[in-house]
Every structure is written in structure tokens, then in C-alpha cells.
Structure 1
Amino acid sequence: MRATIPCLAALLLLTACEKPAPGGVDIDALNNAVASAVGDPATCVILAEKDTGKVVYRLGEPRICRREFTDCRTPPTVISADVLIALAAKGDERAESCDIQGGASRVGWASGPVTAGEGAKHGPLVYAVNMEGVNALPGREIKARLEPALAKAGL
């Protein structure tokens, strides 16, 4: 019984810190839609308010979102999803991919505005995604899969 109390407290703290989905969208529906579209352990998906850049949703481990990969637009510079979401809030749109690590892996980048669905209860949003690995989707494919998934989830 003693061991369960700290575990229960830790679980409550973790769930208390989880951000709700933007505009009252069902978080489970959003998580499922995003994971079905571009889910992968090496993927980071971030949504932010366009006007402020404030992050309102994140799917992926923080270390994945902070990890820097080749910026396919301007190699050999690097970029992270955390940096890309700030650029997306300023109007940057991407759908790119390139080989990294001497061709041993790939990185895909996508960013742009979220098209608000009818009855949306949130302001303008933007998204940023990075996917890395030998099976990483091209940026155009990430964009083609994610945008309809966000709409399906109620954004």
C-alpha cells in the first residue's frame, strides 16, 4: 500500500501537467488522429497559437522536439521542431526532407497554418513536425497526412 501512494501521486502530477487540446478539442481524438497520420517514436508534432507562438499541444518526447537535425532548406545548418514552431508562427511553411548521417537516415520537416474547422473555438494555429529515421516520411507526405488528420480531430 505504501508503494502505491507515491506512484499515484506521480501519476496525478503527470496528468495535471498535460496540456488540454486547443479550443476544447478532445485530447484523445487529437492524439489518435495525429498518431494515426504521422505517429512514430521519432516524431514531434507541435501546435501553437499563430499570433503569440504559445505552444498549445505537443505529441512526442521533449528530447525529440529539441533534437537538432539538418535543415533541409539550408544545409549544413540545423534546426529543431521547437525552433520550427516559432518560425511557423511567423509564417514559415515547409514540406521538405533530406538524407542525413551520410545517407544512413532521413529527416522530414513540415510546418504551416492549421485550417480552422467550422465552429472552431480557438484562434489561428500553426503546426510544426519533424520525423527522423530510415523510414521517415518525406515532408510533403507528412503535410498531406497531418492536415486532414487535424481537421478530422476537430481543429
Structure 2
Amino acid sequence: MRRLGVIAAVAMAGVLAACTPKAPAGVDKNILDEAISQAIGDPGTCVLIAQKGEVVYQYGTHMVCGRVLPTCEGTATRTLADLLKDAPTAGDPKTASCRSNPERTRIVAWAAGPVAGGDMVYAAVMEGDLVPPGLVVADKLQTAFQRAGLGSK
């Protein structure tokens, strides 16, 4: 019976992995994962990259990426997918940061904008005890994208 549970767990992991976007065309997912991990990696981090409205990359678990968190604009909340839809396609990234829980012990940071030199946009969220401001998240991500070869083609 225990073996059956292990087999089911492995099968479920395979199904979930198949549903996760791999990486933008021409970019090695492992290199991009590592660049983002070094820049802003944290268990409470999610990064989505979209091209022509379709998500082509996801860093972070579905659970982290699907959380509903404060927008830092009043009492409204959103998911990262909501922010991705509104990501600027040119110019400076949209960023925000604020306390994310009633005890004011956790912080959420949002960043969204164009991937330099390409036709892609990204959205990122970090939430936790020690989270940098959204502006810092955006800056570190642009460096990570360049290290992975995004926007340099």
C-alpha cells in the first residue's frame, strides 16, 4: 500500500511538471532558474514571464504563484497573474512594497515590466519576513534575465 502511495506521488509530480511552462524559446531553463535563484530566490518568490499574452516561464511553485496578496494600493488584493496582465510593455517597471499581514511582520514586494531587448514581460512577487522593496526586486531581475541570455538576442 505504501508503495502505491509513492507511485501516485511521483505520477502527480510528473503531471504538475508537465503543466509548468518550461522557458522562453532559446533560453536554458536551468540557467534562468539559477540566475533568478541567485538574484531573489526564496521560498516565497514567484516570477512569471509572458510572451504575446502566454506564460512561457514560471519560477516558484503553483501555490506560491497563486497566492492572493495585498496590492499595496489601499485594501485591494491580487494574484501575480493579475499583475502580469497589467505589466508595462515598455519603460520603467511597475513596483510596490508594503506590509502583508495584520501583525505587520511580513512584507510583500511586487515588480512587473518589460524584459529588456525582447517582446516579453515579467511579473514577480516576493512575500516574507525579509523582503527587499519592489524596485530592488525589479533591478535584480533585469540582471538575472541578462545573465540567462534573455533580451540579449
Instruction: Report the equivalent of 2:106.
Output: 105
SS at match of 1:142: helix
Shift of 1:20: 2.6
Note the aligned Cα RMSD (angstroms). Answer: 2.4
Structure 1, unmatched stretches of 5+, are: 117-122
Task: Decide whether the 8 Å contact of 2:89 with 2:121 is kept in 1.
Answer: no
Shift of 1:137: 1.5
CA distance in 1, matches of 2:10, 2:124: 33
Aligned-partner residue type, residue 114 of structure 1:
V
- What is the aligned-residue identity percentage? 36
Shift of 1:99: 1.3
CA distance in 1, matches of 2:64, 2:121: 19
What TM-score does the superposition give when structure 2 sets the normalisation length? Answer: 0.82
SS at match of 2:97: strand
Task: Decide whether the 8 Å contact of 1:53 with 1:89 is kept in 2.
Answer: no
CA distance in 2, matches of 1:10, 1:18: 13
Instruction: Work out which of the residue numbers 106, 130, 138 in structure 2 matches 1:135.
Output: 130
Aligned residues: 146
Instruction: Report the equivalent of 2:30.
Output: 28
CA distance in 1, matches of 2:13, 2:108: 33
Aligned-partner residue type, residue 87 of structure 1:
D
CA distance in 1, matches of 2:11, 2:128: 36
Task: Decide whether the 8 Å contact of 2:35 with 2:144 is kept in 1.
Answer: yes
CA distance in 2, matches of 1:84, 1:57: 15
